[in-house]
Every structure is written in structure tokens, then in C-alpha cells.
Amino acid sequence: MRKKLLSGILFFLVLNLVVKPFWILGIDVQVQNRVGAAEYGLYFAILSFAYMFNILLDLGVTNFNSRNIAQHSHLLKKHLPVILNIKLAMFVLFLVATFGVGLIIGYNSRQFVLLAWVSLIQFLNSLVLYLRSNFSGLFLFKTDSLLSVMDKVLMIIFCAIMLWGGVLKDGFHIEHFIYAQVLAYAITAATALIILIHKTGMRRLRWDMPVSWMIIKKSLPFALLALLMSFYSRLDPVMLERMLPEGTGATQSGIYAGAFRLLDAIVMIVYLVSVPLLPVYSKMTKDGEDVSQITKLVFTLVFCASSAMAITLSFTADGVIALFYDNNTAEMTQVFKILIFCLIPISSIYVFGTLLTANGNLKLLNIIALASLITNFAVNMLVIPRLMAHGSAFAALATQMVSAVAQIVIAIRIFHLHISARYLLQMLGFFAVVVLANFGGLSLGLPWWAVVIGAGIISIAVMFGLRLASLKELVAILRSKEE
């Protein structure tokens, strides 16, 4: 199982490290530069608004399905046509909710047009994630990995043609960016569905009320968790755009979006660890296997990587932001210096939250998510009027810290995970050395990119030097014949 997990994670990482950073930093950033912070901020605020209702497109079905198929693979043929019908019904519910609330908060005609297209993007993305969950549940991690980058590869091609191909006579607008996403997600969803139809022999959609109700009922705890998490992770730009005066709100949301995008690019990579981790944990907990060894291994690697990246990118934020953005770079840099530290608690959540999800501790996770949402809303209400985007960055960090610490404590108690004083000292030592390496590099007057490279090399050396990870052990796992 350890070999399947590590090889799956490595394949995910290799593909996504090649594709997704280029998509976010090479395409998405260029789109904001081309259309401007205010225009992109409007799009990002509407996207975040729609994302808060994203749970209505899934109701926890995707996470339930990944866990369920990993434990009972024979149910795929029975559940696939039923869940596809459920997804279509959910899309109608999603449209009613988003447009209804849009009317209440006073969206204008253009905002509603953007909301309609963004809603279609959200549905197609949700459909792709569900279809992919079947492959990860079957431990077909390579197929899942290829599908995970297919939509981004297509978006890169479509956007590159429109941005630099000279095919748009009236210039590039935010609507063109949206159209590219719709087409890419539609092609990816169709490809995944064709593969699953071939595997299951499905001929038509089927509405089976007893099975549908059973799936929805078992998915609801996952749905509540996803709803609360989507609210506290996406509430910041919406509150910025709504609480501040017109114009200022959109601009501040755009500044926050620029900083958040770079964090999101890295979080996407860390998220990939949780994709194969959920079905692996699900099978291990079902079979009564000890999860402590694999949890320590994955958490150590994730913590070291996320800490090193957060510290280094915060120290070198001026150079990083200036590399990708043309406007509002000074303010965006200050926001990014704070926001990037969210990477550390988010990475911890992807490990321990996934473990608790696989074990069925949804009630505890929902309580933590509710506390996190309250924290996010309260802090934003206090700081946005005075600190604007900077305040939302502090709110995001406080929220993620609350969630991560609570999940780690609960996981330790439930699974009796042992954390030695030596292990904690090793972690603190790693953290301190990375800080000193960055501080020393900048003090010597090195360019920011040299500090990034040097800190990365030092971080890897220190991780193995402090024996937080063993290269020999990792190679042995990958070479093993373990299934």
C-alpha cells in the first residue's frame, strides 16, 4: 500500500508540476495583466461567490464515492448511471441558489451574465472531479493523473492562441478566458465519461430513487463539510468586494486574488497528495491496518516542503510578485507575505483531514469547519474596513491555523499517533535553518531567484541530514513488490 501511495503521489506531482504552475503563472496571471486588476477582481469575486455554493453541485458525493469505491469497487457499475442523474439535478438546484442570492445582494445584468458562465464552469469542474474519483477509488492513479492535467493543458492551448495568436480583433476580454475554461472542462468530462462507459458497459442514465436517496443520505456529512470549508476558504474576496466602496472593493479583491493565485498554485500541488491518500486511508481503516507509519511519512514530507516554500516565498515576495504582475505590486507583495503562510496549515489539513474523513469522523470535522468559518467571518468584519486586503490575508491565516491545529489534535487522540520530543525538535530545527538560510541569502545581497534556489537545496539537505526522511527508505518502498 505504501508503494501504491508513493508512486501515485509521485506521478501526480510530476505531471502537475509541469502543467499547473504554467497554467496559473503563465496564463492566469497574464489574463489579469491583460484585463486589469478591477476587471479580473470582478470575475474573481463572482467566481468565489459561485464557489461558496459549489457544494450544491456535489453534496459530498465525490468524497463519498472515492471512499466507497475504494472499499467496494464492484458498486461502480451500479452507482455510475444513478450519480450522473443526481449531478444533473444538482446543477438545477445550484443555478436556483446562486441566481436567487445574486438577486438578493444586488448583482447587475453584466454580473449575472458572468455568473451564468461561471456556474457552467463550476458544474463541469464538479463533474470532472466526480468522474475522476472513480479512477482514484479503483487505485488507477495514472489515469486519474492524466485527467487531472488534461483540462489545464487544453486551457493553456486555447488561452495562448487568444492571448498571443492575434486571432481576436477587439482584444482579449475576461469573457474569452471564461469560454476557454468551459470548452476545456467539457472535453475532459467527455473523455473521462467515455473511459468509464467502456469499463462499466453503461448504456443509459438511470434514476433509481432508493439508491439515489441512499447515496445522498450517506454523502450529506461530506456535503456539510465541503460547504463550510468552501465558505471559509472563499469568503475573503467576496467580503472585500461587498464591504468596501464600489471600485475600491473590486480593486482590493483583485489585489487579494493576485496574491491568492500564487498560494493556490502551490496548494494545488499539495492537494494532489490527498487525492491518492483518501482511497488508501479508506481501505486501510476498513481493513483495520495501522496508519501511523504512513501518516508520519506523508506529513513529514508535506510539512517540510510547505514550510520551506512558505518561508522562502515570503522572504523573496518582492521579486516573485514583480515577476508575474505589472500593477499593484507593492500592495500585493505585502498581502502575499502574509497569505503564503497559509500553505503550512493547509498542507497539514490535507493529511490529517483526509485521515479523519476516511475514518468517517465527519461530525468532528464539521464542528471544526464551523468554528473556522466563524473565525474567518469575525476577523474579516473587524479588519477589512481598516486593513482591506491585508486584513483578509490575516483572517485567512487565522482560519487555517484554527482548522489545522484542531484536526491534528483529534487525529492524534483517535489513532494514538505518537509524537516524540526528538521529532518535534527535528521539525523546529528544520524550520529554523530554512529561516536562517533565507535571511543569510538576502543579507549577502543575492538576487531573489538565487535565494529561492539556494534555500531549496539547503531545505532538502537539512531534511535528510536531520533524518526527518530517509532516501534509502523511500527508494526501498518504490522498489518493493508490495501491492
Q: What is the dihedral of CA 43, 113, 23, 194, to 10 degrees?
A: 150
Q: Is 108 inside any structural domain?
A: yes
Q: Domain residues for 19?
A: 2-419
Using alpha carbons, select from 439, 193, 123 the residue that is nearest to residue 311.
439
- pLDDT value at residue 14: 67
Q: Is 44 inside any structural domain?
A: yes
- The three grid cell numbers given for residue 369, joined into one nine-digit string: 469547519
Lowest mean per-residue pLDDT among 75-79, 362-366, 440-444: 75-79
By residue count, the chain amounts to 483
- pLDDT value at residue 127: 93
Examine the pLDDT at 234 and tell me if it is beyond 80: no
How far apart CA 402 and CA 345 sit, in angstroms, is: 9
Q: Is 70 inside any structural domain?
A: yes
Using alpha carbons, select from 187, 185, 192 the residue that is nearest to residue 122.
185
Lowest mean per-residue pLDDT among 210-219, 334-343, 434-443: 210-219
Whole-number average pLDDT of the chain: 85
- pLDDT value at residue 166: 80
**Higher per-residue pLDDT: 301 or 9:** 301
**Higher per-residue pLDDT: 403 or 329:** 403
Q: Is 472 inside any structural domain?
A: no
Signed CA dihedral, 419, 423, 428, 434: sign only = negative
Question: 185 with 124: CB under 8 angstroms?
Answer: yes
Lowest mean per-residue pLDDT among 262-266, 356-360, 433-437: 262-266
Examine the pLDDT at 245 and tell me if it is beyond 70: yes
388 torsion bin: left (phi>0), alpha (psi -120 to 50), beta (else): left
- pLDDT value at residue 483: 45
pLDDT in tens, 143-197: 888 888 899 999 999 999 998 888 887 888 888 899 999 999 999 999 999 988 8
DSSP labels for 85-116?
Answer: HHHHHHHHHHHHHHHHHHHHTT--HHHHHHHH
The model's confidence at residue 364, banded by pLDDT at 50, 70 and 90, is: very high
Q: Is 402 inside any structural domain?
A: yes
**Three-state SS at 471:** helix
How far apart CA 284 and CA 295 sit, in angstroms, is: 12
How far apart CA 240 and CA 48 sit, in angstroms, is: 11
- Provide the number of structural domains found in the chain: 1
Examine the pLDDT at 285 and tell me if it is beyond 60: yes
Q: Is 469 inside any structural domain?
A: no
- pLDDT value at residue 356: 92
- pLDDT value at residue 265: 77
Q: Is 371 inside any structural domain?
A: yes
pLDDT in tens, 53-111: 887 888 788 878 877 787 777 777 777 888 888 899 999 999 999 999 999 888 888 88
How far apart CA 342 and CA 320 sit, in angstroms, is: 17
Q: Is 378 inside any structural domain?
A: yes
Euclidean distance between the first and the last CA atom of the chain, given in angstroms as a whole number: 6
How far apart CA 212 and CA 248 sit, in angstroms, is: 46
